[in-house]
Amino acid sequence: MVETMTATAPDPGQAPGSSPLAEDAPLKLEVHDLSISYGGKPALVGVNLEIRKNEIFGIIGPANSGKTSFLKALNRMDMFNAGMQVTGDILFNGRNVRDWRNVYALRSRIGVVFPLPVGLPMTVYDNVALAPRLAGITAKAELDEIVERCLSRAALWDEVKDRLHSLGSLLSGGQQQRLTIARALSQEPELLMLDEFSIAVDPVTTMRIEDVLKELRHEMTIILVTNLTQQARRLADRTAFFLMGSCVEIGDTESLFTGDVADRRTADYIAGRFG
């Protein structure tokens, strides 16, 4: 995919997401020796990394590098795939995700937005109100406030406020993607994972969502998997480069993009020489 949007250079010493990442911020996620395979075929091998609270953590790399498998393991989506085997430790707020007996409670704290919008067969309002209702919220006034807040945070409220009771599937592709973000936000997650959210979204809408993410970083931790390297540069505090099932390196995003890399393959990928 060719990216036509231009990046704005960050201020010296400042993270792209608009504020410096505190090096002493508490750890939100710790991954130790994570390996994933499908039917015995390795997809990801020996990944070790840490992600801090309120960090935007970018993950870049060509197709089939294990990026999506990594996200799936974080909130135990392997439960839906009998052939997916996961080994190693994933600690969320210091607790191993495998120790959560209520997996749905875990997923309410680790939200995910997939590459293509997956709208529920219900109205715009009900798409966003579903999770709060499942959490026991029934008062209409409270649900109305949640729906408006989440749609506003997803930069969608002004476009759909007069169509709340129309089917979400009738929205445009870009609107549906923002609806999935609003639905994820309605769970009030501590960690939000976005997997190639730009695939089905036009450049203008992509930039609007990026602005939303810059604001959300003050409220939650974000993992951004993207095939648009300049998107990682615009948003991520730190970036990991995945290649052929391995995490090649992790570094300060701007440093990686200005050539301060430990592995030449990272620079070659960022420069577009392969991938």
Find out whether 143 and 126 touch, Cβ atoms under 8 Å.
Answer: no
Could you tell me if residue 217 is inside a domain? yes
Measure Cα distances from 5 to 42, 115, 229, 271 in Å: 35, 19, 11, 15
Confidence of residue 21 (pLDDT cuts 50, 70, 90): low
* Within a domain: 153: yes
> What percent of the chain is predicted at pLDDT more than 90?
73
Please identify which residue in the block is written with the tokens 């997401």. 17
- Give me the pLDDT at residue 10, please: 40
State the CATH number of the domain containing residue 131: 3.40.50.300
- Rounded Cα distance between 241 and 268, Å, is 11
Q: Is residue 173 part of a domain?
A: yes
pLDDT of residue 275: 77
Helices (H), the chain: 67-74, 103-109, 124-134, 140-153, 157-160, 173-185, 203-216, 229-235, 253-257, 264-270
CB 128 within 8 A of CB 137: no
pLDDT, residue 5, reads: 40
pLDDT at residue 201, as a whole number: 80
Q: CA-CA distance, 187 to 127, in Å (whole number)?
A: 12
Residue 173 has pLDDT above 90, yes or no: no
Whether the pLDDT of residue 146 is over 90: the answer is yes
Place 150 in a pLDDT band, splitting at 50, 70 and 90: very high
Complete DSSP assignment for 142-201: HHHHHHHHHHHHTT-HHHHTT-TTSBGGGS-HHHHHHHHHHHHHTT--SEEEEESTTTTS
The b/e string for 103-134 (b: 16+ C-beta within 10 A; e otherwise) is: eeebbbbbbbbbbebebeeebbbbbbbebbee
Question: Which pair of structure tokens corresponds to residue 254?
Answer: 């701007």
The stretch 23-51 carries a mean pLDDT of 94
Residue 9 falls inside a structural domain: no
pTM: 0.87
For the cut 60, the answer to whether the pLDDT of residue 131 exceeds it is: yes
Q: For residues 109-120, give the mean pLDDT.
A: 82
Q: Residue 84: inside a domain, yes or no?
A: yes
Q: What is the pLDDT of residue 19?
A: 46
Q: CB neighbours of 200 closer than 8 A, spacing ≥ 6?
A: 115, 116, 117, 173, 174, 176, 177
Residue with tokens 């052939």: 83
For 79, which DSSP code?
G
pLDDT beyond 90 at 37: yes
Residue 75, φ and ψ in degrees, nearest 5:
-115, 30
Distance CA 2, CA 180 (A): 24
Q: Which domain holds residue 249?
A: 27-270
Asked if the structure places residue 13 within a domain, the reply is no
Helices (H) and strands (E) counted in the chain, each on its own, are 10, 10
In a domain, 219, yes or no: yes
Quote the number of domains for the chain. 1
124 within 8 A of 171, measured Cβ to Cβ: yes
56 pLDDT higher than 50: yes
Give the model's pLDDT for residue 189: 95
CA distance 254 to 72: 27
Q: Is residue 3 scored above 60 in pLDDT?
A: no
Distance CA 185, CA 123 (A): 17
Residue 49: inside a domain: yes
Rounded to 10 degrees, the C-alpha dihedral 37/73/193/129 comes to 130
The 10 Å Cβ neighbour count of residue 233 is: 23
